[in-house]
Amino acid sequence: MNELAGGVIAIGIPQLLLSTGFVVVVGIISLRLALGLEKDLAIATVRTYLQLIALGLVLRWVFGIDSWILVIAILLFMMGAAAQSIIKRAPDAPRGILGSSMITMLLTGFTVTFAVTGLVVQVEPWYEARYVIPIAGMVLGNSMNGIALSLERTFADLDARADEVLALVALGATPWEAAAPSVRVAIRAGLIPTINAMAAAGIVFIPGMMTGQVLAGADPLAASFYQIVIMLMVSAATAIGAVLAVMLSYRRRFSAEGVYLERGYRDE
């Protein structure tokens, strides 16, 4: 058995290499079956090593410094990265939604993270990095998927409904009246994975945070309470974020006079 580190069985270099061995096996299978995944798999493995070790080192450093300015700076960086990622994942969305995507991540990220750390967990001091950063990561990471899905769906659905949108605007509909059916479908689509995850939690899978806490030696019941708080807050963040992101951006697909800019009538 490996030595214990703070109540956790520590993983050393041999264990890391062993798990890497499994990925090598997958690479060999990919080669044999001509799946063409070897390169992606190799890059992804190297990135996993580099990014997570870097994260570990940064967090270790941040936890040691105990500065609220540093914590806020890291949160801002995370939110910027999340906003960028949302745009990449919504290729049908209009250009120039970085601003609204950033506003969405800032509002949702700060509100939900500090609601959890301040009101629910009651962390002292309020910026305690050990709590704030991982919780923000979970809130941002999970809500980002739902927000990206909602945005992508809004603009894909508007394009699919372009004839109907034109007919509605021709009858005098405002951009909101013409876009509302797409917005509803899209927000629903963005929330379904989160709702499904809530429904399956504990039965189909043990959520990541709870797994981590149990592995770290926490009482499973206490870990489940943490996980409940996180899942509820993530679903709230996804809902608020999806609504905000879509509401702040759908109007960009309409001209100043309220005409839907279908393909061919917009800068692409």
Partner 1 sequence: MAVEPVLLAEEIRFVGPASIGSPVVLDGVRFAVGAGEVVDIGGPSGAGKTTLLRALARLLPDATGHLALRGVSADEIAAGEWRRRVTLLPQKAALRPGTVRENLLLPWTLKLRGEEMPPADGALAEALADVALGDIALERDGSRLSVGQAARLALARTVLTRPEVLLLDEPDAALDDDSAAQVAQMTARFAAEGGAVVRVRHQRIDGHATRRLRLSDGNLSEVSA
Write out the residues near partner 1 by the rule CB under 8 A: 161, 163-174, 177, 181, 255, 257-259, 261, 264-265, 268
DSSP string spanning the chain?
Answer: -PPEETTEE---HHHHHHHHHHHHHHHHHHHHTT---HHHHHHHHHHHHHHHHHHHHHHHHHHHH--HHHHHHHHHHHHHHHHHHHHHH-TTSPTT-HHHHHHHHHHHHHHHHHIIIIIIS--SSTT-HHHHHHHHHHHHHHHHHHHHHHHHHHHHHHHHTHHHHHHHHHTT--HHHHHHHHHHHHHHHHHHHHHHHHHHBTTTB--HHHHHHHHTT--HHHHHHHHHHHHHHHHHHHHHHHHHHHHHHGGGGB-TTS-B--TTSS--
Closer CB to partner 1, 3 or 257, in the complex: 257
CB of 158 to partner 1, least distance (A): 13
CB of 203 to partner 1, least distance (A): 35
CB of 145 to partner 1, least distance (A): 28
Closer CB to partner 1, 124 or 163, in the complex: 163
Q: How far apart are CA 193 and CA 179, in angstroms?
A: 23
Closer CB to partner 1, 159 or 177, in the complex: 177
Closer CB to partner 1, 104 or 249, in the complex: 249
CB of 247 to partner 1, least distance (A): 17
Closer CB to partner 1, 162 or 197, in the complex: 162
Closer CB to partner 1, 14 or 264, in the complex: 264
CB of 51 to partner 1, least distance (A): 39
CB of 88 to partner 1, least distance (A): 23
CB of 229 to partner 1, least distance (A): 39
Closer CB to partner 1, 141 or 258, in the complex: 258
State the SS3 of 196-219.
HHHHHECCCECCHHHHHHHHCCCC
